[in-house]
Amino acid sequence: MYEIIETIVHSAGEIVLRAKHIDESVQEKSSHCDLVTKYDGMVQEYLHRELLTAFPEAGFYGEEEEEHDIAGKAAYFIVDPIDGTMNFIRHARHSCISVGLMKDGQMEYGAVYQPYTGEMFTAQRGKGAYLNGRPLRMRDVPLSESIAMFGSAIYYRDTIPATARLMQEALPLVLDFRRSGSAALDICYLAAGRADVFFEACIRPWDYAAAALIAQEAGALVSALDGTPLRYIDRCSVAVGTKTNHPELIKIVQRILNEPDMKGRIK
Ligand code: 2AM
Ligand code: CA
């Protein structure tokens, strides 16, 4: 039933691969570290048209749109046309297209496609996670055996102290850190066993909706950084990990949030 979404996401990847003169169309959004190109808009327009042709009843909640058409919709797509825009601008070849389908208040389906490597991560709720059709299963490890991926939420300046504190507390406890610039790919990399825990103090639903379902279906625990359920509207912190390292991470965050100058600094 949802194979059509995978086909559409795959085709959208062609727009990313064929992009030329990317630097000529770069514009600032909220700040100098929050950038967008004409290709973000082109990919989103393509996804909007094709997904709503395939699912005319569905709404659409996409990064590059001012108005979000989700009020009163039982099902809607949560879309990041290019996650890892900074990598895209710098020709780092580490970006993806992320499409999640929210249905009756739950994530139902997710597809995250890395066009440069041809890796397609998918999951349907209750039916497992897959990488190019191969099932994914996370192994359970404690923090002490974990590679930690993270994002720095740099465009929300008030979160910087909490991110720095969390890095300071977590670094001696984990194997090492990785920072890739695409939250969706980071979370899918956990599902694929390339890393074991992920955190970011404040991101938007299109950065994690599809990938969080993929990780969950591969056995991950997923929540906001204070341990409360992930929110799929507006903005939220994100913690993804295994049965063992996720509670360890949440415990560190709760300790940090009790420090007097850390109140409200993790969303
Ligand atoms: P993007 O490339 O789609 O913008 C890295 O920390 C993560 O933060 C990426 O997934 C990146 O997604 C996301 N990001 C960048 N700017 C953002 C913003 N203004 N709000 C929320 N997430 C953002
Ligand atoms: Ca984006």
Q: 112-153, pLDDT tens digit by residue?
A: 999 999 999 999 999 999 999 999 999 999 999 999 999 999
* Average pLDDT over all residues of the chain: 97
Question: For a substitution probing ligand 1, which of 159, 203, 206 has the most ligand atoms within 8 Å of its CB?
Answer: 203
Distance 258 CA to ligand 2 centre (A): 32
> Which element (helix H / strand E) includes 59?
strand 59-62
User: How much is the pLDDT for 106?
Assistant: 97
Query: What Å distances lie between residue 204 and 16, 49, 189, 210, CA to CA?
Result: 21, 22, 19, 12
Mean pLDDT of 153-171: 96
For residue 95, the ligand 1 atom closest to its alpha carbon is: 2
Quote the pLDDT of residue 67.
83
The model's confidence at residue 214, banded by pLDDT at 50, 70 and 90, is very high
